[in-house]
Each structure stands twice: as structure tokens, then as C-alpha cells.
């Protein structure tokens, strides 16, 4: 018995909305990042949860290959949505997410976090957390493209993306974080606050891959 | 890209803010020296501000660049 057209179209709708849902997950990850400190995150907290969900959203078609691997065929989801009103829903949701949430709302939220950074500094706190969160929010489209470029067409795409994100963190972000740690160490030295732990942190940021190798071998 | 934001923030702090702070710290050190106060830490701070890039390069010297090429999935270079 063939699958009804409406069910196939609903499946196509859900799968084709996954990239838009991934953008929303990244937005929620940015908000969770600030709640967890901004310059760090909690293991098992909101940031890791929403980042994992964004990766799953972008790699779900490849994850479904596991069903075929286990001998459970998955209906083909390629092609356009045949039912007009379902195609309309797809178009409307995609436009809403890209033009309202990503193009406007995240920019405004990032601007609010810049104000929060100034207020943090005024209250004697550290502005870096809010600044990093603002940068993360502004980079949501770039992060989504980065995750998409890391995925492979195999059923291991999700872990390939997580692998790629770890390498991106170690290769690109950590050296810049080491520079920030050196700047903070100098300022702490002048203001008679503990500075050596920041120098040690900079060294750790620069050697994170070597530390991984030390642990894994 | 998030990476661009972090790198630009670090460059701005290292190339704009720290040299400015260096001048400020030297001025404070001079004023405190004339007034007979403790001035060494301000002087050292001024020099450290100018040496931030060099300190980072020195720390990078302890981290061989080939280590970055490790893939965590394989553990090989």
C-alpha cells in the first residue's frame, strides 16, 4: 500500500524545516551561554543541550540512515512539497525564522548584551561574558553554515560535526582566548590581583590539543 | 563568524587598548615616583602592556604547532 501523499508531504515539511529549527536552537544556545557565565558553560547545561540539538537538527537526514542500516527503510523525503498549504507553511516559517528571528531579533538581543556588558563593568563584574554572548548571537548564521560545512553524507555525520566543532574550538578559538588571558593577566598584575592562573590558563588554551593527546594515549 | 569576533576583540585589546594603558601606567608610575609612593608595579605593568604580544609568542613557543593538526577522532597527526 503506497504512503498517502499528505503523510509524505508532512515528512518533507518537517525535514525541510530542520535548518530553520537549528537556527532557533543556536539562538537558545546563545541565551543559555550567558546564563551559564558567558565565558564558560556548564557540562550538561543549556548551552551544550541546545548546541547538540542544533547539530542533530542539521544532521537528522543522515542520522535516519541508521534506520536503513538496521533494515528499516525510511520513506524518501527528497523533492518539493506537493500539498499547497503545507508548502505555504514551509515558506512562511522559513521566512519568519530567517528575516525576523535571525536577521532582526538576534541583532537586538546582541545589542542588549552589549549594554549588559557595560552594566556588568559598572557593577564591578566582568564584561567579557556578555561580550562573548553578543558575538555568539551575531555569528549564528555563520555558525550554522560552519556546522553544515562540517557534516558528511554518512550516517556518522552528527559525530563528525561534533568532532569538527572540537577541532574548530581548539584550532581557532583557543589561541584567541589565550591572547585574552594574557591581556587579563597583565591587568590583574597591575591591580594586584592573582595573575599567574591566567598565564597558566593561556598556556592551557594553547596546548589543548596536546593535552588531549596526553589524555588519549 | 564567532571566530572573527574573538580574534578582532583580542587584536583590539592588544594593539589599541594595551599601548594606551601602557602610557597611562607609565604616567602613574612617574607621578607616584615623584610623590615618593610605590611605583614599581605600575612601571612593570607599563612594560608588560607593551610586551603582551611577545608574552603570547613565548607561550606559543611551548605549544608546537603540529599539535593542532591532531584529529580527535583518530588521535593521529
pLDDT in tens, A29-54: 999 988 888 777 778 888 999 999 99
> pLDDT value at position B65?
52
Banded model confidence at residue A60, pLDDT cuts 50, 70, 90: confident
> pLDDT value at position B67?
45
CA distance A90 to A9: 10
Q: Once rounded to an integer, what is the mean pLDDT over residues A100-117?
A: 90
Residues 6+ apart with CB under 8 A from A111: A134
> pLDDT value at position A206?
87
A217 pLDDT more than 90: no
CA distances from residue B6 to A20, A40, A70 in whole angstroms, order as listed: 25, 14, 43
The percent of residues in chain A predicted with pLDDT above 70, rounded, is 98
What is the end-to-end Cα distance of chain A in Å, rounded? 54
CB of A29 within 8 Å of a chain B CB? The answer is no
> pLDDT value at position A6?
83
Q: Once rounded to an integer, what is the mean pLDDT over residues A127-138?
A: 89
> pLDDT value at position A28?
93
- Considering only CB atoms, which chain A residues are within 8 Å of B21? 187
ipTM for the whole complex: 0.72
CA distances from residue A195 to A87, A116, A214 in whole angstroms, order as listed: 58, 25, 26
A76 pLDDT more than 70: no
* Nearest Cα residue in chain A from B39: A190
CA distance B38 to chain A (A): 12
CB of A186 within 8 Å of a chain B CB? The answer is yes
Least reliable range by pLDDT among A16-25, A79-88, A198-207: A79-88
> pLDDT value at position B74?
52
CA distance A180 to chain B (A): 6
The percent of residues in chain A predicted with pLDDT above 90, rounded, is 13
Which stretches of chain B drop beneath a pLDDT of 50?
66-68, 76-77
- Considering only CB atoms, which chain B residues are within 8 Å of A207? 62-63, 67
Q: CA-based Rg of chain A, rounded to a whole angstrom?
A: 21
CA distance A217 to A212: 9
> pLDDT value at position A71?
83
- Considering only CB atoms, which chain B residues are within 8 Å of A203? 59, 62-63
> pLDDT value at position A29?
92
A73 pLDDT more than 80: no
> pLDDT value at position A123?
84
Chain B contacts to A (CB-CB under 8 A): 1-7, 9-10, 13-14, 17-18, 21, 25, 41-42, 44-45, 48-49, 52, 55-56, 59-60, 62-64, 67-68, 70-73, 75
CA distance A127 to chain B (A): 13
Q: Which three cell numbers stand for residue A144?
A: 550554522
Query: In this complex, do A189 and B71 lie within 8 Å of one another by their Cβ atoms?
Result: no
pTM > 0.90: yes or no: no
> pLDDT value at position B77?
42
Amino acid at each position: 500500500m503506497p504512503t498517502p501523499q499528505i503523510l509524505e508531504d508532512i515528512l518533507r515539511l518537517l525535514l525541510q524545516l530542520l535548518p530553520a529549527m537549528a537556527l532557533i536552537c543556536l539562538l537558545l544556545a546563545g541565551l543559555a551561554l550567558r546564563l551559564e557565565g558567558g565565558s564558560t558553560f556548564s557540562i550538561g547545561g543549556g548551552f551544550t543541550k541546545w548546541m547538540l540539538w542544533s547539530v542533530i537538527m542539521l544532521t537528522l537526514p543522515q542520522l535516519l540512515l541508521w534506520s536503513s542500516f538496521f533494515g528499516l527503510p525510511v520513506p524518501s523525503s527528497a523533492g518539493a512539497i506537493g500539498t499547497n498549504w503545507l508548502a505555504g507553511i514551509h515558506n512562511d516559517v522559513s521566512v519568519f525564522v530567517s528575516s525576523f528571528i535571525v536577521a532582526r531579533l538576534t541583532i537586538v538581543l546582541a545589542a542588549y548584551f552589549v549594554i549588559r556588558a557595560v552594566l556588568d563593568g559598572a557593577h564591578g563584574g566582568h564584561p567579557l561574558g556578555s561580550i562573548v554572548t553578543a558575538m555568539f548571537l551575531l555569528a549564528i548564521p555563520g555558525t550554522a553554515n560552519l556546522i553544515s560545512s562540517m557534516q558528511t553524507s554518512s550516517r556518522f555525520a552528527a559525530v563528525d560535526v561534533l568532532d569538527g566543532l572540537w577541532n574548530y574550538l581548539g584550532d581557532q578559538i583557543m589561541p584567541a582566548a589565550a591572547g585574552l588571558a594574557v591581556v587579563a593577566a597583565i591587568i590583574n598584575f597591575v591591580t594586584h590581583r592573582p595573575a599567574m592562573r591566567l598565564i597558566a590558563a593561556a598556556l592551557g588554551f594553547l596546548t589543548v590539543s596536546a593535552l588531549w593527546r596526553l589524555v588519549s594515549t | 563568524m564567532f571566530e572573527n569576533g574573538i580574534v578582532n576583540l583580542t587584536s583590539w585589546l592588544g594593539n589599541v587598548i594595551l599601548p594606551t594603558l601602557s602610557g597611562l601606567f607609565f604616567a602613574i608610575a612617574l607621578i607616584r615616583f615623584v610623590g615618593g609612593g610605590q611605583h614599581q608595579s605600575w612601571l612593570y605593568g607599563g612594560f608588560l602592556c607593551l610586551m603582551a604580544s611577545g608574552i603570547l609568542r613565548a607561550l606559543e613557543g611551548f605549544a608546537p604547532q603540529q599539535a593542532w593538526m591532531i584529529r580527535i577522532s583518530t588521535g593521529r597527526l
